[in-house]
Structure formats: structure tokens, C-alpha cells
A and B are shown apart, each in its own frame.
Chain A
Amino acid sequence: MSALPRPSTIFLAAITTLVAVLLYSPLFVPIVSSFFTVSHGNVDWSSPTLSTYVALAENHDILVALRTTLVVGVCTVILSVVSGTLLALYYHGRRSGRSILQFIIFLPFLMPPIISGLALLIFFREIGLERSLLTVVIGHTVFVLAIVYRTVLMRLQSMSRTLVEASYDLGATGWQTFWRIILPNLSSAMVGGAILAFALSFDETMITILVTGTQSTLPVRLWAMMRLGFSPDINALVALILMFTVLLCVLAARFLIPRQMATERS
């Protein structure tokens, strides 16, 4: 980039800043306004307050929804990391039929969520599975599997094949090679994938609405609240979800940057 003449560098910087502001400033509005009260449709800027957060904390429905979200998230992560890793290992070791497997895994992620959700709904009805948290977890897993799979597979492919050969060469068995060489080298990718999966599950709305029973997750709850009208604690909720998601993404990035680069920088 340094090869560019100075005026064009400044121009590029200006454009980048503008785009960033346009894209991301709406995100900050609810965060900022969550610290102020609204009366008669006007924001009272004079006195910052945490009252919206207090109201949120006292909202029993929200707390229940939060717990549901966490339970669903954790189950989804466990299921998707285990199956995503197994699929990646299987794919990596295979020679034929690879593109079909890849396609099937990515399909639910690429399809519009409403289509995935409807397909799942029809499927659950056909096999007679009651809508419940279980169906939500299954729905989320199908949706996020591609991310975990992709993350783990990329790490697997960047791993030198000779590492595995060296392990065998030094006398290790297949199990020893898996537990002591392959898995440790995948672990940070698995953690990164898990965090991304959790973030996706945390925010997932469309599929959840379609396949959930009586319980609702946080975004679904939020959706329901919005339909009844805008209330100040929605700002607080949006702000919290936003911050939490950002935190997760930062964490995920930490785990997904290759180790070598990380040590070079430190």
C-alpha cells in the first residue's frame, strides 16, 4: 500500500472512514440511547441513567429467555463442534465424493433462513418430533455446522501432512497421533469455531421462531416485544446483545489467527 502516492492514500482513508461511519453508526444509537430515558417520545439527554437496565433485569420473561438462549447455545456448540470436526476429518481423509459433502454442509448456511426453518419444520412434523428446545438445538446446529466445519477444515489443510507422518514414524499409533498431534493443532480452530457458533446461535431468530415450541430465546423475545411497541428496555437489550456479540467475535478472531503470526507479533 505504501507504494501509492500520498493523495490517493488520503482519499482511500477518507472513503474508508465514511463507509465505516455509515455502516456502523446505527449500531451505536441504541447503545447510547439505552443510557437515557424517553418521555413523550423525546429522549431526555440531560440525565444519563441505568434505569433501562434495571427495568430489563426485573423483566422475568427476558431472564427466562436469556437462560433458554444460553442453554441452546451451549448445546449447539457442543453438537456442532463435535460433528463439524468429525466431518472435517472425514472430508480431509477422503478422496472421492468430497464436493457433494461440502455442498450438503454449506446448504443450510447459504439458504435463506426462512427456507431452512420451513424445511426443518416440515421435517420435524413428518418424523413426529414435537417442537421444543431440542428442535431448536437441531435447527441451530444444522445452521452453524458449516462455520465450525470450515474453520476446522482450513486448519487441518494448513497443517503439514508430514506432521502426521512424523508421528507415525516415531512409533505412535493412530490414536496417539490423533490425540497428541492432530487434536492439539486443531484445538484453537475448534475454540474459535465454537465461539462463532455460539455467537450465531445467540443471534439466530428466523429458524428459531419456526421450530421452537413454547419457549423463546432472547432474539425471539425481542421480536415479540417489538411487536407490542417500542419500550426503552429494548434499547438496553439490543445494546447488551450487541456488546456480547462483538466480544465473542473479538475472542473468536484471537483463536483463529494462526499461532505463528501471533508469536511473531509478540
Chain B
Amino acid sequence: MNQNTDLLTLRSVSKSYGTVPVLHDIDLSIKDGEFLTVLGPSGSGKTTVLRLIGGLEPLTSGEIRLDGQDISRMPINKRPFNTVFQDYALFPHMTVSGNVGYGLSVRHIKRKEIARRVAEALELVQLGRFADRFPAQLSGGQRQRVALARALICQPRLILLDEPLAALDLELRRQMQEFLKSIQREIKTTFLFVTHDQEEAIGMADRICVMQAGHIRQLGTPHDLYYKPNCEFVARFFGENNLVAGKLGPVQGEQRPIETALGRLVCSISGQPHLKAAPDGARAFAAFRPEALRLADATDDGNRLYGTIADLAFAGSSTVATIMTGADNAAQRLRLRMPSRIDGSALKSGETVSLCFAPHEGHLVLA
């Protein structure tokens, strides 16, 4: 269980349904023991990636390697992976223990052994008392856990989960997120988890793979994706963001300015060689998070922006201000997030404000 060795590798995998291409040249490495989340909008091909790995669909081209061995043509029932389906796919005519033990009994393992391991698996998902119930007699969260136990019991190298929490309500969802995460830590199995909920992805994943329109846009830790998105799509999709278009200026050490309609903004490029290498004048965006933006006072020497407050939205612990900036022909909406205060906001709608963000809190994204 070495986090640095690749368990599974997808090499220029493509998939078409008939003549419709759905995945384009996907390259992806999954490390042994990690919790990898595939995140993307609806129709971006997340399920398809999972089905290709699980063997439920044949590849159109490319290959899938497990421990370096090509398994592209290995039949689904021979692959050491198990899936937790979005609709759980529990067998309605079997009890909970029948369901959980199915993967063992089809391999002709002795009854005693099956009973022992089923009890163990049910204990792990805290469903010991429900062994003799039928799926129809369980709640959504319980079914979910049966599906998980059923997938775990075969001790797969990789567990594939396709939006397993999508059908649950918010509260239960939170609980299940923690639960899944703790189980993953306990059994140390690799999880490949599909979701279109970015909060879920941020909260659970070791690494996130962002997909869009059949392409992988970025693969990295939640922190990387949040602070160093490599393209406009990720910058906009992943968390709330302010993007201002402009042209790159000359590199200044670990920083680089960008000329925008809102003036010159200086942003950090540290650890991102492709931004250093981009030619002067290249089209790009300055990106800065709403929480990096704040009201400026006279002594601030960060990036300055001016605008009018269009709206103030109280969101519990924080308050979000929408600010209109720029000339009429280049009007741009910015968001600013600040901690809420009991005596109300210091800002008022319609007020003209001066804002700033520090260069190291801004980053650049090539257009």
C-alpha cells in the first residue's frame, strides 16, 4: 500500500457511443490507496470513465493498465474492482447478508467463511442488526451502506463509486461523506468516487480530477485546484471566483502583471512554470477568490480596484458583496466575501468603495 505507486493507469483512452465521441484521449493515473474524486458537470463523461474501468463498457481506443498489466480486454467479472452503483443495485430477492455475501458465494467460498466475512463487513458498516432484512425494508442510507459492504467484501483493489450519495438528503449526505472517508482510512483501499458536487469533492478527496466535455481539465489536490486552477473552466467551476480578462506583462521574479480593463493587476506565478513561459501579451485572466478581496485603506499597496456595491447578501458566517466595476463598456461584476458582524455590515448598497487584494493571493489563468 504505497501511496506513490500507480495502481491503475488510463493511457489515451477514448470512448464513442456509435459515432458520438464521449471521452477524448484521457490520461489518468490512480495511486494505490488514495481517495480520488472525479468531478464534473452533468454529461462530462464521469460515469463513462467509471464504466470503462469497471469493464461495463468496452474501450474505443487506448488502454487501461493495472499494476502495469494491460487489462483493457479483461472481462468484468475477472477485474479486481467493485462498484457501488448510484441506484445501489441491491438484489431485491436476497436479504442483506445474501447481498453482501454474493461476491463470495459466486466464488464458491465455504459457507462458514462467507458467514464470518459477511458479519465482519456488516459490522464495519454498522448494519449488524439488519442482516436478515430485505433491501425494501431499509432506508436510503442503510441501502447505501449495504451496497458498500457488498463491494468491500471481495477485497477489491479499487472501489468505484458513482455518485453514491446523490439520492440522499443533505444531512444524511454529510454523515455518509464522513462515514465513507473513515472507512476508506480504515481499510486503506483505493476509492474512485464520482460526483458533480464540488463541496463533496473538496471534503473527501485526496486528489480531484476535473472533467469537462469528455476531457480531463485538471488533476490535483483540492488545494491546488482551488488556488492554482490551470484553465478558465476549472477557475470558474471550482468554487466561487473573480476572473478579469487581460494581457500578460513581463515576468517579475515570482510575479507577473496583467493589463486589464480594471487596471494593472500583479499576481503570483510561483510554482507554475507554464505561466512564466507564456509570452508577453498572451491573453489570460487574473483570478482572485472573493475572500481574498477586501476593502482597501490608504496604506494598502496591493492591487487596487474601484466599484459600486450592487448587492449585499448575508450568508450566515459570511456576507457576500456584489460589486460593479469598470467603465460602462467593460462593466464587470466582482464578489467580495467577508466575515459577518453582529452589528450589520460596514458596507451599504450603492456605496462607492476601493478594494484590494495582495499579489500572492491572485493567480493567473491562461485563456
The interface residues of chain A, by DSSP majority, are classed as: helix
Q: Is the CB of A168 within 8 A of B76?
A: yes
Q: Assess whether A47 is interfacial by the CB under 8 Å rule.
A: no
What 0/1 readout, one digit per residue, does chain B (135-162) give for beta carbons within 8 Å of chain A? 0110000000000001100100000000
Q: Is the CB of A163 within 8 A of B76?
A: no
Residue of B nearest to A170 (CB): B103
**Which residues does chain B contribute within 8 Å of A259, judged by CB atoms?**
92-93, 136
Give me the interface of A with B, judged by CB distance under 8 Å: 160, 162-163, 165-173, 176, 180-181, 184-185, 259-260, 263-264
Q: Is the CB of B106 within 8 A of A166?
A: no
Residue from A162, A173, A263 in contact with B77 in the complex, judged by beta carbons closer than 8 Å: A173
Q: Assess whether B268 is interfacial by the CB under 8 Å rule.
A: no
| Given A259-B92, A263-B134, A263-B137: A171 touches B154 (CB 8 Å cut-off) | yes
Q: Assess whether B191 is interfacial by the CB under 8 Å rule.
A: no
What CA separation (Å) do A170 and B55 show in the bound complex? 12
Q: Is the CB of B134 within 8 A of A172?
A: no
Residue of B nearest to A161 (CB): B89
| Given A171-B106, A263-B134: A185 touches B85 (CB 8 Å cut-off) | no
What 0/1 readout, one digit per residue, does chain B (72-99) give for beta carbons within 8 Å of chain A? 0000111001110101010111000000
Q: Assess whether B362 is interfacial by the CB under 8 Å rule.
A: no
Residue of A nearest to B147 (CB): A166
| Given A160-B89, A163-B89, A180-B106: A169 touches B136 (CB 8 Å cut-off) | no
Residue from B56, B87, B92 in contact with A185 in the complex, judged by beta carbons closer than 8 Å: B92
Q: Is the CB of B83 within 8 A of A166?
A: yes
Residue from A170, A176, A184 in contact with B82 in the complex, judged by beta carbons closer than 8 Å: A170
| Given A162-B89, A185-B92, A259-B92: A169 touches B82 (CB 8 Å cut-off) | yes
B80 to chain A, nearest CB (A): 9
Residue from B93, B136, B137, B154 in contact with A170 in the complex, judged by beta carbons closer than 8 Å: B154
Residue from A160, A165, A172, A184 in contact with B106 in the complex, judged by beta carbons closer than 8 Å: A172
Beyond A162-B87, A171-B77, 15 additional pairs, beta carbon < 8 A: A162-B89, A165-B85, A166-B83, A168-B56, A169-B55, A169-B56, A169-B76, A169-B77, A172-B106, A180-B102, A184-B93, A185-B92, A259-B92, A263-B136, A263-B137
What CA separation (Å) do A170 and B83 show in the bound complex? 8
Point out which of B54, B56, B92, B103 has the most chain A C-beta atoms below 10 A from its C-beta: B92
Give me the interface of B with A, judged by CB distance under 8 Å: 54-56, 76-78, 81-83, 85, 87, 89, 91-93, 102-103, 106-107, 134, 136-137, 150-151, 154
B180 to chain A, nearest CB (A): 18
| Given A162-B89, A260-B136: A169 touches B106 (CB 8 Å cut-off) | no
Residue of A nearest to B76 (CB): A168
**Which residues does chain A contribute within 8 Å of B136, judged by CB atoms?**
259-260, 263-264
A191 to chain B, nearest CB (A): 14
| Given A160-B87, A162-B89, A181-B91: A170 touches B54 (CB 8 Å cut-off) | no
Q: Is the CB of A166 within 8 A of B85?
A: yes
**Which residues does chain B contribute within 8 Å of A185, judged by CB atoms?**
92-93
14 interchain pairs, CB-CB under 8 A: A162-B85, A162-B89, A166-B85, A169-B56, A169-B82, A171-B103, A171-B106, A171-B107, A172-B102, A180-B102, A181-B91, A185-B92, A259-B136, A264-B136
Going nearest first, the 4 A-B pairs with the smallest beta carbon separation are A170-B103, A162-B89, A166-B89, A172-B106
Residue of B nearest to A258 (CB): B92
A222 to chain B, nearest CB (A): 41
Residue from B92, B103, B106, B134 in contact with A173 in the complex, judged by beta carbons closer than 8 Å: B106
**Which residues does chain A contribute within 8 Å of B82, judged by CB atoms?**
169-170
